[in-house]
Amino acid sequence: MKNIGFIGLGIMGRPMAANLIKAGHTLYLFNRSPQNMIELSQIGGIPCQSPQEVAAHANIVFVMVSDTPDVEAVLFGPTGVIHGINPGSIVVDMSTISPLATRRFAEKLSNLGVEMLDAPVSGGQIGAEQATLAIMVGGKKEIFETVKPFFEIMGKKITLIGGNGDGQVCKMANQVVVALTIEAVGEALLLAGKAGVDVAKVREALLGGFAQSRILEVHGERMLRRTFQPGFKIRLHQKDLKIALQTGKELAVPLPNCATAQELLTAVAAQGGADLDHSAMIRALEILAAWELGG
């Protein structure tokens, strides 16, 4: 058993950290909101005052925060990881951030004798709780093999994509597919509903055919039930698509439907829905159709 650090105990990070604790590892914790640390301390986690303190105790430091600036602050800020970490340690960033920034962070850590993996995840809160996340990893193969047993505690499908930043590129691709599929499911269910057909039966039929998908199964049900508690918040998916669109511009790769999905998320956020589950994208489509699912 190793001493593990875990920084960022939100919707995703908290159950991921809990699974590591339950597996018998000593976890040093930091979160901006102390309450989440208190909850995990009740099952054996050790709260710390800063990322620096976490890093001073841990051989491997996991980071699970919201955006690129947050990761940069955790790693390199005044009380950041670099001020406490020992050479030979490993930083594993499981956030979803810019691939270019990831490569820059990895280089800075390497200069201090610290290895880094980027390991963004897919599967949402349910996947985090059930330890069935897909984990997409970038970094050196030997470092990946060292950390893989811990990934296997948190996830089910673990893939080494390539070097530093490549895990983040894979996650960008994942988020594009997810956003466009949510949009497609929303369009399909609205079309069926406004045509006067039983939408629940349409969804049931589609789940047995070539249109079947995990998003139709999970998010389609959320759309029907109007249950938009996150899950995965719209504002976070907006951030992910922003990264994808920026990268697309840099590489001269047009992403027209990704841009459309981003605008639909923005429309929901503008009406106060930024913290709803991303399946609430259907609300923007409902406004365009002048018809509400189940209405």
Q: Which CATH number characterizes residue 190's domain? A: 1.10.1040.10
Same domain? 195 vs 156:
no
Same domain? 136 vs 272:
no
Q: Containing domain of residue 104, as a range?
A: 3-163
Bond prior to 44 in cis (omega within 30° of 0): no
Same domain? 234 vs 261:
yes
Pairing of strands 133-138, 121-122: antiparallel
> What's the pLDDT score for residue 271?
96
Residue 257 lies in a domain: yes
CA distance 133 to 122: 6
Boundary (domain end) residue, out of 124, 148, 163: 163
Average pLDDT over residues 5-21: 96
CA distance 255 to 252: 9
> What's the pLDDT score for residue 167?
98
Total domains present in the chain: 2
Residue 282 has which token pair?
Answer: 């259907």
% pLDDT > 70, the chain: 99
| Residue 2 scores a pLDDT above 80 | no
| Residue 176 scores a pLDDT above 80 | yes
Is residue 171 annotated as part of the catalytic site, yes or no? yes
User: How much is the pTM?
Assistant: 0.91
- Going by the DSSP 8-state scheme, the letter that residue 161 receives in this structure is E
**Cα→Cα distances 220→118, 189, 224, Å:** 31, 8, 6
User: What pLDDT, in 10s, does the model give residues 238-258?
Assistant: 999 999 999 999 999 999 999
> What's the pLDDT score for residue 181?
98
Confidence of residue 150 (pLDDT cuts 50, 70, 90): very high
Mean pLDDT of the chain: 96
Average pLDDT over residues 187-206: 97
Same domain? 108 vs 193:
no
- Going by the DSSP 8-state scheme, the letter that residue 85 receives in this structure is P
Boundary (domain end) residue, out of 163, 193, 227: 163
Same domain? 192 vs 212:
yes
Phi, psi of 161 (to 5 degrees): -85, -45
**Secondary structure of residue 155 in the 3-state scheme:** strand
Average pLDDT over residues 120-141: 95
Same domain? 53 vs 151:
yes
Same domain? 234 vs 123:
no
Same domain? 16 vs 110:
yes
Residue 295 lies in a domain: no
Confidence of residue 1 (pLDDT cuts 50, 70, 90): low
Average pLDDT over residues 174-187: 97
Same domain? 82 vs 211:
no
CA distance 266 to 273: 9
User: What pLDDT, in 10s, does the model give residues 68-116?
Assistant: 999 999 999 999 999 999 999 999 999 999 999 999 999 999 999 999 9
Residue 109 lies in a domain: yes
Give the CATH number of the domain where residue 25 resides: 3.40.50.720
Same domain? 159 vs 173:
no
Choosing from 148, 171, 194, 249, the catalytic residue is 171
